[in-house]
């Protein structure tokens, strides 16, 4: 940036306006993200509600926050969303907001004494009746009244994330008779899964449908659909969101056995995919989980979709100031698998060390990125080319592999081209310039993409390229001799119109000079 106000005054007005907005406001956030490409989601909760915590979390590296609508009331989550927007503005960060719908989580009801202790071999009944009495040592109600129709003798039901196991011995109307398979304590409202899946409960409850309207008014950037079974669940959610005028991207949470069976169609119907390892691991078993994580990430990348890896990534940091070595390796392996983002749940929502958890996550991601060389499979990528902007993205990454680039500058309206660029895993930064707030916040989820506010209206493509690169040079993201690819549309301010690739080099004076155009 020019060091004096006179320097700004000498600029063309359109370029000056962009630079003035950029100066200082985005510098801290961009410099903080100088190297890390994997994005971090942090779940908000009581541990993040204290004044100043959000500012610190964003400075530590949070890119997207998660509002868990399974807990708290909508008004409280709306207040958190407003505080996120304010804190992001204060620190100059582009932070997306993800609303996580509760979905049809099956739970046992409450006990008269709050909890009971079960012994292996005991009989224990589950009662699918809205008027079931408070639970005791012999029985407890369940929230899903259709459960008796979904189970038969021999089925194993898993409670409290698998800590308590019950085997069905008989079904007597609304009463499911089970045998306790292990000793343990069972308390109020614990979750219930069927080993191997097979429950017929749909993904969207009436409460979820109401919440979509609420989060549309809040203005979230992502909506996560819990326990989706197939593509139709995602289509239904999208239709409801559109009815409310909501353009949030839809996240499919892969956490049911049925979702694995219908993985290809679910990914196709989603904008973002989440590897939700909690309930998924309970239903399919822990031994299958690592391979399925890799499969889900691989399928998401093959379909050019953004993918999140979630659940218990740094679980020990709920109480400990440092992660275990196993957790470090878990996060690093997700990065190496190619995930766009990693998510913190209780670690930030209710943990004792929310900021340290984010700092640890950022540190681990950065280390994994530096120690692993990505090998772009251009032959596989060619099979998915359908549009001109996808071809431009592939050509850009091909250039980066063969001539070396300091980065890519993508002028974008909706974030489509940066998304395609980021599907090619590399260590090259992608600077996505757009004037649309929502597009920048959605791009905050994409690996290797650094969204920057930039209004190109009134500029020719060449003027926009020079102004954008000048901003990066002045903010020490590029320097003399760096080669950069600039992508844009011949008709700027048009969605999906990227059709031009320019190869530029930064001169000694910080100006960009053309080397070629496609």
Q: Mind listing the pLDDT tens digit for each residue in 5-57?
A: 444 444 545 444 444 444 443 444 444 445 799 999 999 999 999 999 999 99
**pLDDT at 80 > cutoff 80:** yes
Q: Residue 370, class by beta-carbon neighbours within 10 Å (0-12 exposed, 13-18 middle, 19+ buried)?
A: exposed
**pLDDT at 276 > cutoff 70:** yes
Q: Residue 62, class by beta-carbon neighbours within 10 Å (0-12 exposed, 13-18 middle, 19+ buried)?
A: buried
Q: Check: CB of residue 348 under 8 Å from CB of residue 47.
A: yes
How far apart are the C-alpha atoms of 297 and 276, rounded to whole Å?
12
Mean pLDDT on 431-444: 97
Mean pLDDT on 121-127: 98
Displacement of CA 497 from its chain's centroid (Å): 26
pLDDT at position 497: 59
Residue with the two structure tokens 């596989």: 380
What residue spans define the domains of the chain?
5-26+376-517, 33-103+202-369, 115-194
CATH number of 5-26+376-517: 3.40.1380.20
Band (475; pLDDT cuts 50, 70, 90) = confident
| β-pairing verdict for 115-118 and 184-187 | antiparallel
Q: Residue 31, class by beta-carbon neighbours within 10 Å (0-12 exposed, 13-18 middle, 19+ buried)?
A: exposed
Which among 149, 148, 129 has a CA at the least distance from the CA of 140? 129
Name the CA radius of gyration of the chain, rounded: 25
What value does the mean pLDDT of the chain take? 90
The per-residue pLDDT for range 293-344, each reduced to its tens digit, is 999 999 999 999 999 999 999 999 999 999 999 999 999 999 999 999 999 9
Active site amino acids: 66, 107, 253, 311
The per-residue pLDDT for range 372-387, each reduced to its tens digit, is 766 655 565 556 666 7
CATH number of 33-103+202-369: 3.20.20.60
Question: Which class would CATH give 115-194?
Answer: mainly beta
pLDDT at position 5: 44
**pLDDT at 512 > cutoff 90:** no
| β-pairing verdict for 498-506 and 483-489 | antiparallel
Q: Check: CB of residue 433 under 8 Å from CB of residue 463.
A: no
Residues 6 or more apart in contact with residue 56 via CB below 8 angstroms: 355
The DSSP code for 315 is G
Please calculate the CA angle 12-471-504 and round it to the nearest 5 degrees: 95
């Amino acid at each position: 940036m020019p060091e004096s106000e006179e320097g700004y005054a000498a600029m063309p007005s359109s370029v000056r306006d962009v630079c003035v907005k950029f100066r200082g406001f985005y510098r801290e956030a961009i410099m903080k993200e100088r190297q890390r490409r994997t994005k971090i989601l942090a779940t908000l909760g009581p541990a993040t509600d204290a004044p100043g915590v959000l500012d610190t979390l964003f400075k530590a590296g949070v890119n997207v926050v998660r509002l868990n609508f399974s807990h708290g009331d909508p008004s409280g989550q709306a207040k958190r969303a407003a505080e996120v927007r304010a804190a992001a503005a204060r620190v100059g960060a582009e932070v997306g907001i993800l609303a996580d719908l509760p979905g049809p989580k099956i739970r046992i009801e409450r006990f008269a004494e709050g909890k009971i202790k079960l012994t292996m071999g005991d009989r224990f009944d589950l009662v699918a009746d809205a008027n079931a009495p408070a639970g005791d040592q012999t029985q407890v109600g369940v929230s899903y009244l259709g459960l008796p129709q979904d189970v038969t003798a021999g089925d194993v039901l898993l409670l409290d994330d698998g800590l308590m196991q019950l085997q069905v011995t008989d079904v007597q109307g609304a009463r499911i008779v089970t045998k306790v398979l292990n000793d343990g304590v069972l308390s109020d409202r614990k979750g219930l899964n069927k080993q191997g899946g097979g429950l017929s409960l749909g993904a969207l409850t009436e409460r979820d449908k109401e919440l979509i309207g609420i989060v549309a008014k809040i203005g979230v950037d992502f909506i996560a659909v819990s326990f989706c079974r197939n593509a139709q669940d995602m289509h239904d959610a999208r239709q409801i969101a559109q009815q409310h005028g909501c353009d949030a991207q839809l996240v499919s949470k892969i956490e049911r056995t049925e979702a694995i069976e219908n993985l290809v169609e679910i990914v196709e119907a989603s904008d973002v995919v989440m590897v939700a390892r909690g309930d998924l691991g309970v239903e399919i078993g822990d031994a299958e989980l690592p391979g399925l994580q890799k499969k889900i990430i691989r399928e998401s990348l093959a379909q050019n979709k953004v993918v999140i890896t979630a659940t218990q990534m740094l679980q020990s940091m709920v109480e400990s100031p440092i992660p275990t070595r196993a957790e470090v390796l878990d996060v690093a392996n997700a990065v190496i698998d190619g995930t766009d983002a990693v998510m913190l749940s209780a670690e930030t929502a209710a943990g004792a060390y929310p900021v340290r958890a984010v700092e640890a996550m950022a540190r681990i991601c950065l280390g994994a990125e530096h120690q692993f060389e990505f090998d772009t499979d251009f032959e596989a990528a060619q099979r998915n080319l359908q549009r001109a902007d996808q071809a431009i993205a592939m050509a850009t990454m091909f250039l980066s592999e063969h001539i070396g680039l300091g980065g890519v500058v993508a002028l974008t309206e909706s974030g489509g081209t940066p998304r395609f660029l980021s599907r090619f895993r590399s260590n090259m930064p992608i600077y996505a310039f757009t004037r649309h707030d929502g597009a920048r916040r959605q791009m905050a989820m994409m690996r290797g993409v650094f969204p920057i506010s930039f209004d190109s209206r009134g500029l020719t493509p060449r003027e926009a390229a020079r102004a954008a690169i000048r901003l990066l040079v002045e903010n020490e993201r590029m320097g003399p001799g760096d080669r950069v690819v600039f992508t844009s549309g011949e008709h700027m301010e048009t969605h999906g119109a990227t059709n031009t690739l320019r190869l530029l080099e930064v001169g000694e004076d910080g100006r960009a000079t053309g080397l070629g155009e496609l």
